[in-house]
Structures are given as structure tokens and as C-alpha cells.
Structure 1
Amino acid sequence: MAGSGLAAALAPHRRVLMIEAEDAPGYHATGRSAAFWQQSYGGPGVQPLTAASFEALAHPDPAFSDRPFLLPRSSLIVGRTEEAPMVDAFIATFAARGVDVAPLAAAELATRVPGLRAGWTAAASEPSCRDIDVAALHAACLRAARRGAAMLATRAPLIAARREADGWTVETGRGTVRAAVIVNAAGAWADRVAAACGAAPMGIRPYRRTMAQVRLGAPVPAALPLIVHVGGDFYFKGAGEGRIWLSPHDETPSPPGDAAPEDIDVALAIARLQTVVDWPVAAVERKWAGLRSFAPDRLPVFGADPHVSGFVWCAGQGGFGIQTAPAISALLAAGLGAPMPGGAIGAIDPAAFSPARFA
């Protein structure tokens, strides 16, 4: 998503080549997203990017997409009785930033989450949460990039790049190309790409996140809100009648690669679920894992490298890269020759996300 979103924004203004190591783009983190837009997700530092991306996701330009990318969902942040101060702090933090969050009474929580076990009484409602049609968004970005004459080379991993007086010579698995600028949108591989280009790493670290689709022996509605534990132990949401998507909210340090779920993490997710609700688990129908990559301060990194001319970062999007993609793509494209966006995106100061903050 980082690369395709930027290519879509930049292709009308620059000549763009996307190089992709896999057989097709979107194989790793983008294709394994939990697929929701939630303003509070990622914390206060990420929230402006998420909020500013809403309009492009909810009401895209008809030339970009003939349908919105956001679908109804809503979310609840929940905690045990003793975790009520954490829920109160969550509400105070995000309400102060203009997010629509409000306390939810224990009786209402029990109504919204049938089968809720005793002791889960602290909750906040975040009704603006939506599902994201990630596949449609990614496909729309690729179509827009192609319309702008951007090119895509698959099975073309970066081997090395050499900076010369007039630009870059880039060796890939499918040959050598010349470029004025390299944008490092390599996700979990971002620091390795930097090293191959002679740039210092930013400390981008990948972490494995596990997901499972679980069939339940209880009539749980497909429209069940996204349920997020205020302490970070789990989240789950409806995925069809009697089914949920479930995660133990794990962050296991992992090397870049094709992430696979561990059975112990799926078991942990189910064990945590069953402390919250009395829904019997009939079957684990699917399980998968993806790598979420974070900078040391857990904020995205996008902008020009402070030491290597013509080397630009677009990395460290963590688990919020899809919901912030319109804002990040537009802001970074503006620094590379596209017009500066207006509205909420144009009001964001990209300096907060610049690689120079680690210089």
C-alpha cells in the first residue's frame, strides 16, 4: 500500500517505476490487514493522519473509484472493572483531539456484546470506526498509477543501488535501471533496502501479528462491533453470522519474511476470547500472520533521508498503514513534485514524521 498509494499520487507528475520482489504486489502486510479504520488506533501521534485520510476513503474521487472504501462497523474499547481508569484515560485523550468517543454503561455493553462474562464493565464507544475494503483500495491505487503511466516490475528484488553525480544506478533481479530518486517503501525490509543503497538504517523493526477466523457455536451477529481490549490483550470483530476475526494483539519480533501464524498464538487468542465471552469455539477456519513494522518512536517515517541525497523513506507504518495511506501518499508526493493537497491533509505538518527526527 505504501508504494502503490505513492505511485498513484505521483505518477501524473513524475516518471515512476515500482519494483516488487514478489510475483504480485500486496502479498505481505497489505494482503493480511485486519481491515479497519479507527481514529484511536496507533495512538495520538498517528490520529491526525487517520482522520485526514477519512474523506479520501469514504468519498473517493469518482475518477479513482466508483464506490467508497469504508463500510459500517463501529468499535468498543473494553476493560475489566479494575481497568476503568484506563478506559477513562483513553476517552480523555481522544475526546480532546476531536474523536467521537464516549463512555458506555455496563448494561449497554452487555447488550452490545451478547454473552459477555461478569467483570467486564468498563467500556468506551467509538462509533466512527469503519471496515476498509483493502483489496479494492489497493487495486484502485494500482489502476491510478497505471493511468499515470507508472510501471510495475514484479519479481524484481533490489540487489544494490549506487549514488552517482546525476542520480542512481539501481540493480534489480530483472536488470539495471537509472533513477533520480529512490523511495524506500519496503515495509519490513526497509532497513535492508536502506543498507543496499548506502543509507543508515532508521531502526525499523518488524513484529508478527496473528489473526484467525473462528466459527462459533453461538449466534454472534456479523455486524458485531470491533471489540478492542484497553490493555492490548486482544481484538475481534464480526466476520459473518456466527464468525469472528480474532487476534491476541501479539507483537513478536520477527525477521523480514513470509510470516506464518504459530499455533500457540492462535490458542492464546482463543483463551483470551473465552475470558471475555461465553461463546463456544466450534472451529478455527483460517489463520494467518503479517509483519507490522515500527520505527523506534512508533510513528511513520516518510520524507527525504537527511544524509543521502535522492533517497526518500516511506516506512514504519505499523498496523495503521492502510488507514493512513491517503494522507501519507499525498504529503510525500507533494515533496516529490505533486501539488500540495488542501483540506485536512494539507493542514498536517509532515516534519513530525520526517526521517530527520532520528538524525
Structure 2
Amino acid sequence: MKKLLIIAFLFIGFAGALHSQQNCAVILKEAEKMFDNGVIENVPALLDECLKNGFSKDEKIRAYRLIIISYLFDDKKDKAEEYMLKMLKLEPEYEINQSVDPSEFISLLDKYRTLPVYSLGVFGGVNYSAIRVTQIYGVNNVSNTAYEYNSSGMGYQFGIRVNRYIYKGFEASAEFGLAQSNYEYIDSLYDYAVVSFDEKQTRIDIPISFTWQLELKKIKPFVRVGFNNSLMLNAFGTSVRRYTDNSHRDITGSDIGLDEFRSKYNASVIGAIGAKYKIKRGHLFLELRYMYGLMNQVNENNRYSSPELIYKYYYIDDDFTLNNYMLSFGYMYSFYKPKKKDI
């Protein structure tokens, strides 16, 4: 019995709300006809009750617009400003229609801040490592060494980003992300052996950057510059010594922890290009970034402290910086706080 009563009350409430919404839809059409006939002074009072409870979001926006224009044409600027703020709080991304919005309405809207205050989002992607050697070391005569560094497959990165809008077209960004980068070292030794060394590094990246974008309609190209702080979480390597003359079996082993041989902190400068695609209350973005490492990756105090690397694999770390090409895709949700611009 109780369940039946609850269902009955819910049905009655739903039916009442639906009836109220249908009545308000009729009232909105009636107000629009009154406006078209020039009876603008009665429009706000007619719509006021339905604005409190009865309109859908789209109907509310239509009603607010109608009230604002009515007050503007009735020379009640303060009331027009009051309802303009209400409309922008409901729909901060209101798009002007030049063919139907009167110039008075457009002029008033232009006096309000309609850009997002900040945005919050996520990103993820892949990266490609590029090593820059600053000093060569080795167990052989390094003046005759034939070494090379390559990327050993794609790394990855993902994280969160906060954008703070500074001015139209300009924003500041802070990120917190996790990244893994890979590279490979190959060197020929003594005309009979080839040493290969694969390293994977996992780090926390905390970039601070500034962006300038072209304020186009849907797709907004941008450029970014900034500075990145990196904290090493872990690093490990896998080494192999192969005999090209087949005189011995290849020398292999398990992964070698490299944490003590790497600098814990690294700094990089950032340059990036990309594009944003505007969607409702936010945007999608695609970004190609280059991070140029500024600091030596090697802990120089521990360069010679691994007998396994030196005597088993004939490997000694060069001084090098780690640079990365990073391709990321992400989504940002925008937060607004409409208000009248300071004059």
C-alpha cells in the first residue's frame, strides 16, 4: 500500500511538473508575440514566474534574452544588466547571432567577461627520446669509438593540467604528469665486440608554461613556451655484449638498477605547437612538444661504481642530456565567472 502511495505521489508530481513546463512553453511563445507586437513593457512580468521554475535551460536562455532586449528598448539599463548577468551565469558560452541579436544587446554583452577563468583537464600521449652527448667516456680509446644513441621505442606520458586565463588569447598552465622515456646506446669495441645498452626512465614532470592562441571559431592553433621540472622515480637498463667474430657467447644478464647512477632532478625548456577544438564547456587539444634537457643525466660521483657494467659489459656512462619529442591528446573543462568588465 505504501509503495502504491509513493508511486502515485511521484506520478502526480511528475505530471504537475510536465503540465507546468508545457504552460511555460506557451507563455514564452506568448511573450515573444507581445515583443514582436511592441508590447515590451509587459514581457518581463509575464516571464518572471516561469524563470523561477518551469522553463528548460534553452527556454530560460530565450526568456532572459527577451527580457534583456525589452529592458534595453524600454531604457532600463540597470535591469537589463541584472538579467544579462543571470543569463551568462546560466550560459557563459552564449554565442551572438548577428542576424537576429540587436546591436544594443550585442553592445551590452560585450561589456561582460565571457572568457573562462580557468580550465582543468587530462592528457596522455607518446614520446620519442633524443640524446645529446656532452662528454664521451669508455673502457677503450674514446677518440676512435663508433657509438650511437637511438630511441628504443616509444615512451608514454599522462597527467593533469590546469590553465589560468590571463588575457584574450593568453593563458598560463601548470601540469603534473608521469612519463617514461626509452633510449638505446650501441658501441663497437676492439673490432670484435658490440655493446648495446637499453635504458628506461620513469619520472614526474611538473611543467609551467605560457600559451598564445589564435582566437578563431572552432579550431584554435597555439604555441607554447615554458620550463619543466623533472623528478626521477626510477631507471633501469639492460645490457648485452655481442662478439662479432662468434668467438664467445653473447654476454647477457638481468635488468640493472640505475637509480644511483642518475641525477634525481632535471630541468628542461619547452617549446610546443598545437591546436584546440572547441566543444561545449571546454575543448579537445592536440599538442606536439619538444623538451630540451639542460642538465647532465649522470651522477658523476658514481660513474665508475658498477663493476658489472664496466667489466662484464664494457659500458661506462657518457655525460648526456635527455631531450624528448612528445605528442599528446587531451580534454580541458572550462570554468566561468561572468562579471562586468572594469572600465
Which structure carries more strand by proportion?
A: 2
**TM-score, length of structure 1 as denominator length:** 0.23
* Larger RCO (CA under 8 A, 6+ residues apart): 1
| Structure with the greater alpha carbon radius of gyration | 2
